[in-house]
């Protein structure tokens, strides 16, 4: 466990950061099955109680019965996307999406980028701040992607020449996607990019582009391998009813693939960092972040694992 939500039943039952989940409702989680497990137990078949077998950093195994918080979703026929956006447009949500900077003296600046769903102003502010430092550490751990426009703008701000980022291949053919450089205004300092198993989509394309251009060092864990270029949503009625509404389901179909300039797809393979590095269970338990600490060292700065672990605490939606 990398985080346990304060005030949750999991916290009350004794689940702790650093615990390793050996089994969730009888299923052994792994890198390849993790997302399917979440989909089954959080969307298709929500459980009133989750049975977990966990192992502490000291090797002690225990069984926990945890009650997850269950919320009733809106029926799709009454779903209002504008209402959803209004609900999300709160100070709390904006805080979750905002880039989080931290400076190490005058030598290194760190930017924790939670999402690629940023406007042009957000990216420009990041790069304007980075221009004052000889080194930039870009932390994309936990970043599940976002806007293609944001991705291309950030790449253009870090490269002194235009590049083909990928070829989008679908039934109509192949379309080349290019990131336009800012030329002389592009950031030329040292770059270190941190990724992990939750880094997905735009985060993966960005990290792989940095590798292919030999623009910086990519450090951390293999990324998730979930890079869907284009998806279509097909709604269907199940024939069942709840009150006045028909119950429905949706089929999501990927309609295109992304091929990087080396001719390879990142789907199901992800990005392999130059240096694989993960915090241990004891690191998590002690709130130490050796990955960020090492990334800062590569960038020419000094930050202890203990200090690094305090910089970017988990932000929880209420």
What is the pTM for the complete model shown? 0.83
CATH number assigned to the domain comprising residue 264: 3.90.226.10
246 assigned to some structural domain: no
237 assigned to some structural domain: no
- 170 plus 297 within the same structural domain: yes
4 assigned to some structural domain: no
Q: Which residue has the higher pLDDT, 90 or 220?
A: 220
Q: For the chain, what is the domain count?
A: 2
- 163 plus 104 within the same structural domain: yes
CATH number assigned to the domain comprising residue 18: 2.30.42.10
| Boundaries of domain holding 103 | 83-232+254-311
- 205 plus 59 within the same structural domain: no
pLDDT at residue 95 tops 70: no
- Residue pLDDT, tens place only, 154-173: 999 999 999 999 998 878 88
CA angle 137, 140, 120 (to 5 degrees): 85
> Domain boundary residue among 41, 66, 91?
66
239 assigned to some structural domain: no
Count the alpha carbons within 13 Å of 65 in the hemisphere toward its beta carbon. 2
- pLDDT for the residue 51: 94
Give the mean model confidence (pLDDT) for residues 70-88.
48
- 51 plus 101 within the same structural domain: no
What distance in Å separates the CA atoms of residue 219 and residue 31, rounded to the nearest whole number?
Answer: 18
Q: Which of 161-170, 184-193, 240-249 has the highest mean pLDDT?
A: 184-193
CA angle 18, 20, 26 (to 5 degrees): 150
- pLDDT for the residue 77: 42
- 26 plus 121 within the same structural domain: no
- 48 plus 181 within the same structural domain: no
243 assigned to some structural domain: no
- Residue pLDDT, tens place only, 26-62: 999 887 787 788 888 877 788 889 999 999 999 999 9
pLDDT at residue 78 tops 50: no
- pLDDT for the residue 232: 63
- 166 plus 288 within the same structural domain: yes
- pLDDT for the residue 40: 84
Contact (Cβ atoms closer than 8 angstroms) between residue 151 and residue 143: no
What distance in Å separates the CA atoms of residue 45 and residue 50, rounded to the nearest whole number?
Answer: 12
217-220/275-276 β-pairing:
parallel
Given strand 50-55, what is the order of strands in its sheet? 20-24, 50-55, 61-66
242 assigned to some structural domain: no
**Closest among 47, 64, 66, 68 to 55, alpha carbons compared:** 64
- 88 plus 60 within the same structural domain: no
74 assigned to some structural domain: no
- pLDDT for the residue 72: 61
- 151 plus 91 within the same structural domain: yes
Lowest mean pLDDT among 9-23, 49-63, 238-252: 238-252
3-class DSSP assignment, residue 33: coil
247 assigned to some structural domain: no
Q: In this structure, what DSSP letter does residue 116 have?
A: B
- 167 plus 47 within the same structural domain: no
């Amino acid at each position: 466990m990398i985080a346990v939500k304060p005030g949750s039943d999991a916290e009350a039952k004794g689940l702790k950061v650093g615990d390793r989940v050996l089994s969730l409702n009888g299923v052994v989680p792994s890198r390849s099955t993790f997302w399917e497990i979440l989909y089954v137990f959080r969307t298709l078949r929500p459980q009133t109680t989750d049975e977990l077998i966990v192992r502490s950093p000291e090797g002690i195994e225990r069984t926990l019965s945890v009650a997850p918080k269950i919320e009733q979703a809106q029926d799709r026929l009454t779903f209002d996307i504008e209402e959803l956006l209004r609900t999300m447009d709160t100070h709390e949500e904006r805080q979750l999406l905002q880039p989080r900077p931290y400076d190490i003296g005058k030598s290194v600046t760190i930017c924790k980028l939670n999402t690629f769903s940023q406007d042009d102003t957000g990216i420009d502010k990041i790069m304007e701040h980075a221009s004052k430092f000889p080194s930039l550490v870009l932390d994309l751990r936990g970043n599940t992607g976002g806007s293609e426009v944001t991705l291309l703008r950030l790449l253009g701000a870090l490269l002194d020449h235009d590049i083909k980022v990928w070829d989008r291949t679908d039934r109509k053919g192949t379309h080349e996607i290019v990131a336009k450089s800012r030329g002389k205004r592009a950031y030329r300092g040292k770059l270190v990019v941190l990724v992990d198993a939750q880094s997905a989509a735009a985060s993966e394309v960005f990290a792989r582009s940095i590798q292919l251009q030999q623009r910086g060092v990519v450090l951390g864990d293999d990324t998730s391998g979930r890079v869907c270029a284009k998806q279509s949503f097909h709604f269907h009625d199940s024939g069942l009813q709840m009150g006045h509404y028909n119950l429905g389901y949706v089929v999501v179909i990927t309609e295109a693939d992304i091929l990087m300039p080396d001719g390879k797809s990142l789907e199901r393979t992800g990005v392999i960092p130059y240096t694989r590095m993960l915090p241990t269970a004891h690191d998590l338990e002690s709130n130490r972040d050796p990955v960020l600490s090492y990334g800062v060292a590569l960038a020419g700065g000094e930050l202890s694992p203990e200090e690094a672990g305090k910089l970017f605490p988990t932000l929880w939606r209420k």
